Structure 1
Amino acid sequence: MQSDASWKELDLGDVIELKRGYDLPKGKRSVGVVPIVSSSGISDFHSEAMVKGPGVVTGRYGTIGQVFYIDSDFWPLNTTLYVRDFKGSDPRFISYFLRTLDFQAYSDKGAVPGVNRNHLHRAKVRVPALPVQKAIARVLDTLDSKIGLNRRINQTLEAMAQAIFKSWFVDFDPVKAKITAIEQGEAPLRAAMRAISGKTDAELDQMPREHHDQLASTAALFPDAMEESELGDIPKGWTHGVLGDVCSFTAGSAFKPEHQGSTEGDYPFIKVSDMNLAGNEVFIQSANNYVSKAQQSEMKAKLHPLGATVFAKIGVALISNRRRLLTTPTIIDNNLMSASPVEGKSGAYFLHSMLSTIDFNTLVSGTALPYLNVSDLKKIPIVRPPHDVGCAFERKASSIFSMMQALAEQSSTLADTRDNLLPKLLSGEVDLSETPEG
């Protein structure tokens, strides 16, 4: 336990000053690089900043309890509270410290919860001296920095997978490369190999024989001609259809408050907010709530299978177009929906990649509360490749998604470590008072 001399009992208002964020109607927003921070995080970017960074923001109305640290200048919306004055405290430490506050205790408990900053200012807190604050922040920030690096790597890997999908199944690059090669009197197979791999002829010649032959086998799967269809020109021998041909859609289940709160159980029960957890950027690795098999049976909640892609089906969460892959049988709440591949017609990675190319915002019904209609989803026109081409993509994508999942698992473990360490550091149970700076 750290010595009491380095810690003080204060009102939160003696440590920091919170202030309500600012209005910024959508009609007055201009595209820029300044983060717009809402009660649920960075929601958009604007050309002007209202507050100098670094900053700390939390929800004032709607989503409360989440805390966001912003490195750069930013614009906090009026649904938030931001720290206007750190009063000599370390901003990064404050971002971690506020996560330990019970915001619900200062909520008005209305249908849409809200927090009064004056009530928060009166909260009794215990904080260390600045050197200890900085030491605590360094330890926790090291974990968050690695989580952030993993997230950026996974964004790059996911972009790679999407680029391959688009090249094969939207732009038909291997097919068009063969057509052009034939017109120019060149070898069509070689041209398709270049289109698929991005390599020059010299680089293809230097490939290990096994990899060269695998690439040639993949290239051979693509035809060397296009043909007309209802969807325009598509590769010869491919078919057109609708999304409902290759997947089945399943709605989520009601998640009553009395079933929430357990961090252990047989099945994760995820909500839209779980998509924001560290490690859940592509795969659902963890959840805030779990239920037992007995509870799942009692609730008659549907299990959504491993390999299904989940996404928001109602409300403002639709705007972000987020897709997540399930890594275990999972229950999802009724603001979510899943799409599961039909065996023999689609693989999990093919379906996830296809869904990621579709802007669901173009399909929403309702104005006050936008929602997705399953019948509209099923009717989305698609181009269907032959089974062997789809399998070739699944094999190629599998190595990329496996790397993403390994990094996601690591991030989830790091987040657990951080969250378990956080209360110990902020209570003084773990002593950092003698930790040197730097």
Structure 2
Amino acid sequence: MAFDPDQVECVGDLASLQRGNTYKSKLLGFPGPILLGLASIERGGGFRSDNLKTYGGDSPEKLRLYPGDLYVSLKDVTQAAHLLGAVVRVPEGVRGRLTQDTVKLVIPGVPSDWKAYLYWLLRTPEYRAYCKANSMGTTNLSLSREDFLSFPVPPLSMARQHAVTVLESIESRINHNRALAANLEAIARRLFKSWFVDFDPVRAKATGEKPPGLADDIAALFPDRFVGSESGEVPEGWVYQPITSIASVLSGGTPKRSATEYWDGDIPWYSVVDAPKGSDTFVVQTSEYITQLGLAKSAAKLLPAGVTILSARGTVGKLALTCGPMTINQSCYAMKCDLGDYFTYFTIAQSIEWLKQNVHGAVFDTITKATLNGMMVVTPPRKVALAFEVIVKPLMLRIETSVRECHILLSIRNLLLPSLISGKLRIEEQGLSNV
């Protein structure tokens, strides 16, 4: 039967649902499709790319997901309902499998413009409110298939088509920026590992060779021999010592919640929920802000740009770099040293797995200052660290620019999404036609 847009009144007129099933945890990490469960969904919808795992078990075709496919979660494990009904479009390069927590939208014979329209319709704040209003359960929330399929679909007018086109362009640009940031961060990380973990320039000089790819003045900074240390051989003149010997460690604080005059100011207040996604690295805005009075009346401290933030309680090991004045809560540490902001960041990033394996706490995993005192690093002379800083600075600044642009684009997207329900927004009037 040919597709008839005049017959579309609700989601069920466009799609049917294919539910996923359970998997065997012992087969995680084996070759196979990526498991696309709750962990693959951003709050409110969208693809979350960190901590994805492949699955080597049974993956029948009906449970498989391919680029462009849509899937949703009809459940949530929190009352906030951030994931309830949240929709995801599988990105390029991802081959996935449903889990017991996700459902695929089967959309046969529907034109691509309608499929894109459906995706963005399910990203609107009106749809998010609909999901929460129709949720069932007290501890774990669920949304019935019937309620999901009954969500109204307004006609795809010219105004809505134009809005979808701009939304698609915005998402494409965001994806481009994030891919660029990931590539640049990977380059900087590889250089750090080559110089300060594998000691490649020193190894080359120790065999009488010129370090490949290094200018003569940079190569001259590295020694040509190793000496013994507690960790084994390290480059001559380099020091094996606790991270706290080279970096200052500050904790944060939370202004009194009952004092309204402490909140909703203009000072960013960072908590782990603000941790950058993937390779974004920088935190440019936070979900909460405090006032000058809140800063003065709490243990929170105003941090400068270039400080590495480490989450230390609950969700441990999340990193961020500040790119402007900011405060943090007491579940985080702020770390800075005179060997360079980026050197400090990558030094800590290199030891994240060690930190996660050495947490304390019976109820919550906690990184204490004692944990940091036990985090040993091999430290080069300052001139070597600063040479690294000079080389990676353009890469890191480009990442910061990309992250800032993504935040602007997300703001435009959030402004535009409600128009898919109202159909009233004229793109030209909002200055968005050239996005």
Per the normalisation by structure 1, the TM-score is: 0.76
Candidates 45, 53, 61, aligned match of 2:54: 45
Q: Secondary structure at the match of 1:372?
A: coil
Candidates 412, 415, 419, aligned match of 1:420: 415
Matches within 5 A, 1:287-302: 287-297=286-296, 300-302=299-301
Shift of 1:34: 2.4
Matches within 5 A, 1:174-253: 174-181=201-208, 191-192=210-211, 195-197=212-214, 215-253=215-253
Shift of 1:304: 4.0
Per the normalisation by structure 2, the TM-score is: 0.76
Return the letter of the residue paired with 1:57.
V
Matches within 5 A, 1:351-430: 351-358=344-351, 359=353, 360-365=355-360, 369-430=364-425
Give the direction of change, closer, same or farther, for the CA distance of 1:399–1:30 in structure 2 (3 Å limit).
closer
Deviations 1:153-189 (A, max 9, x none): 11111111111111111111222222211xxxxxx6x
Matches within 5 A, 1:7-406: 16=15, 21-32=20-31, 34-41=33-40, 42=48, 43-47=52-56, 48=59, 50-53=63-66, 54-58=69-73, 60-62=75-77, 64-65=82-83, 66-71=86-91, 73-80=95-102, 82-83=104-105, 88=110, 90-100=114-124, 101=127, 102=129, 103-107=131-135, 110=138, 114-117=141-144, 120-121=147-148, 125-129=152-156, 135-181=162-208, 191-192=210-211, 195-197=212-214, 215-254=215-254, 265-275=265-275, 281-297=280-296, 300-315=299-314, 317-318=315-316, 322-334=318-330, 336-342=331-337, 344=338, 346-358=339-351, 359=353, 360-365=355-360, 369-406=364-401
Separation (CA, whole Å) in 1 of partners of 2:241 and 2:234 = 12
Separation (CA, whole Å) in 1 of partners of 2:383 and 2:189 = 19
Deviations 1:350-401 (A, max 9, x none): 0111112121332234577533333112211111111111121111221221
Separation (CA, whole Å) in 1 of partners of 2:140 and 2:329 = 20
Contact 1:16 1:87 in 2 (8 A): no
Shift of 1:30: 4.5
Contact 1:20 1:60 in 2 (8 A): no
Give the direction of change, closer, same or farther, for the CA distance of 1:163–1:69 in structure 2 (3 Å limit).
same
Shift of 1:241: 0.4
Q: Secondary structure at the match of 2:229?
A: coil
Contact 1:17 1:86 in 2 (8 A): no
Separation (CA, whole Å) in 1 of partners of 2:153 and 2:222 = 66
Percent identity reads 24
Give the direction of change, closer, same or farther, for the CA distance of 1:8–1:254 in structure 2 (3 Å limit).
farther
- In the alignment of these two chains, the number of paired residues is 391
Return the letter of the residue paired with 2:122.
L
Return the letter of the residue paired with 1:290.
Y
Gaps of 5+ in 2: 41-47, 428-435
Separation (CA, whole Å) in 1 of partners of 2:257 and 2:35 = 31
Shift of 1:415: 1.9
Contact 2:242 2:375 in 1 (8 A): yes
Separation (CA, whole Å) in 2 of partners of 1:161 and 1:303 = 28
Shift of 1:132: 7.1
Shift of 1:108: 5.4
Contact 1:7 1:126 in 2 (8 A): no
Larger helix fraction of residues: 1
Deviates more, 1:269-278 or 1:48-57: 269-278
Separation (CA, whole Å) in 1 of partners of 2:108 and 2:288 = 34
Contact 2:241 2:379 in 1 (8 A): yes
Shift of 1:7: 9.1
Separation (CA, whole Å) in 2 of partners of 1:404 and 1:222 = 28
Gaps of 5+ in 1: 1-5, 182-187, 198-214, 433-438
Separation (CA, whole Å) in 2 of partners of 1:85 and 1:255 = 49
Contact 1:239 1:384 in 2 (8 A): yes
Q: Secondary structure at the match of 1:140?
A: helix
Give the direction of change, closer, same or farther, for the CA distance of 1:367–1:120 in structure 2 (3 Å limit).
farther
Separation (CA, whole Å) in 1 of partners of 2:362 and 2:421 = 45
Separation (CA, whole Å) in 2 of partners of 1:235 and 1:120 = 64
